[in-house]
């Protein structure tokens, strides 16, 4: 604490950032909460309907629950791709003596590209007419019978829209994990090696536990980013065909700006915030329990 600070100086530094943050983040949260108890189409007078929006959402709306299920699967697939391949590459990179910088840069490259460009790209990769990259690859390795319109087949579309999300940010998580692995003391690993530990054992028993705080951070980052995933599914399929790749975010967006049902859309967005908070809380809870046992 600076000795010569005045109350005024604290306010001068604190009020502008708090104002912007309050206007665009904190206040909208309260506003959404408030709106979620109304029925409002934006033009006629809002009508207070109590918890009816929540009752409809949690009780009767099958699209909502379908989108919720889709969302969980979307997050699961993206996280497996992101953290999974990030872990593999971060580890393999440790065996490399040269070229770290090149691999890191190339691996991070997709994170720089806009979601709109990525959506275009994957639309081409999945396409059937003209034959997209994926279908061509299948043909080339003799799995031609698996060729299909990935984005219009209701059983593949959800996976197909999740993969780009995983692909895009895995470089980010790899960088973080790799930096953490580099900080693992070499003596620790060497001692284990001398005791006859295999590479896998060194990874499982030393390296991975050592970077625990970092992979928890990474997991939380990936979880909260993926839970709010919107751009790629919205642009690739807009939730379709039917509702088969609908996420809570795309459903909320359509409810708000296509059906202009602001009240119900607010209820869904409140649910999305709660979902993010619960997800982070769950990660902490599970980890604490494991600590105690």
Partner 1 sequence: MTALTYAAPHVVATRRRRIAPFKVLSRALIILIVAVQVYPLLWLFMTSLRTETDYTEGNPFALPSALTLENYARAFRVGNLGRNIVNSLVVTLGANVLIVALGMMAAYAITVLGFRFSGVVRALFLLGIVVPVQIALVPLFIDYASVNLLDTYQSMIIPLAAFALPMSVYLFGSFFGYVPREAYEAASLDGAGPYRIFFGITLPLSINTIVTVVLVNSIFIWNDFIFANTFVLSDGLKTIPLGLQNYIGAMGKVDWTATFAAVCVTITPLLLVFLVLNRAVIQGIESGATKG
Site for partner 1 in 119-138 (CB under 8 A): 120-122, 124-125, 130-133, 136
Tell which one of 2, 45, 141, 186 touches partner 1 (CB under 8 A): 2
Residues 166-225 that bind partner 1 (CB under 8 A): 167, 170-172, 175-176, 178-180, 183, 199, 214, 217-218, 220-221, 224
How many residues touch partner 1 under the rule CB under 8 A: the total is 98
The closest of 224, 182, 277 to 82, measured between CA atoms, is: 224
Can you tell me the distance from the alpha carbon of 232 to that of 163, in angstroms, rounded to the nearest whole number?
A: 10
Chain centroid offset of residue 233 CA: 12
Q: Per CB under 8 A, does 51 bind partner 1?
A: no
Question: String of b and e for 109-133 (b: at least 16 CB within 10 Å)?
Answer: ebeeeebeebbeebbebbbeeeebe
Q: Per CB under 8 A, does 13 bind partner 1?
A: yes
Tell which one of 61, 165, 189, 231 touches partner 1 (CB under 8 A): 231
The closest of 219, 222, 208 to 284, measured between CA atoms, is: 219
Least separation in angstroms between residue 53's CB and partner 1 is: 12
Q: Per CB under 8 A, does 235 bind partner 1?
A: yes
**Smaller CB separation from partner 1, 158 or 180:** 180
**Smaller CB separation from partner 1, 125 or 161:** 125
Q: Count H helices, E strands: the chain?
A: 15, 2
Tell which one of 277, 285, 286, 287 touches partner 1 (CB under 8 A): 277
Residue 261 DSSP symbol: -
């Amino acid at each position: 604490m600076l000795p010569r600070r005045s109350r005024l100086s604290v306010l001068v530094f604190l009020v502008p950032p708090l104002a912007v943050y309050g206007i665009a983040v904190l206040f909208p949260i309260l506003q959404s909460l408030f709106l979620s108890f109304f029925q409002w189409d934006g033009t006629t007078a809002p009508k207070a309907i109590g918890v009816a929006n929540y009752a409809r959402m949690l009780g009767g709306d099958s699209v909502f629950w379908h989108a919720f299920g889709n969302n969980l699967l979307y997050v699961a697939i993206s996280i497996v791709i992101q953290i999974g391949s990030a872990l593999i590459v971060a580890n393999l990179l440790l065996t490399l003596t040269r070229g770290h910088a090149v691999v890191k840069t190339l691996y991070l490259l997709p994170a720089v590209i806009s979601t709109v460009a990525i959506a275009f790209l994957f639309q081409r990769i999945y396409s059937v007419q003209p034959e997209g990259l994926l279908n061509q690859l299948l043909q080339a390795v003799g799995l031609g019978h698996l060729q299909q319109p990935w984005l219009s087949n209701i059983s593949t579309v959800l996976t197909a829209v999740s993969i780009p999300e995983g692909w895009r940010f895995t470089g980010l998580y790899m960088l973080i994990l790799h930096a953490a692995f580099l900080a693992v003391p070499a003596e620790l690993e060497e001692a284990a090696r001398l005791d006859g530990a295999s590479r896998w054992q060194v990874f499982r028993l030393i390296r991975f536990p050592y970077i625990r705080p970092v992979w928890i951070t990474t997991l939380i980052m990936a979880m909260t980013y993926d839970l709010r995933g919107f751009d790629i599914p919205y642009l690739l399929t807009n939730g379709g065909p039917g509702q088969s790749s609908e996420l809570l975010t795309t459903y909320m967006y359509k409810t708000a700006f296509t059906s202009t049902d602001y009240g119900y859309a607010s209820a869904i967005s409140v649910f999305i915030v709660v979902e993010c908070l619960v997800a982070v809380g769950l990660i902490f809870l599970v980890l604490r329990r494991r600590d105690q046992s």
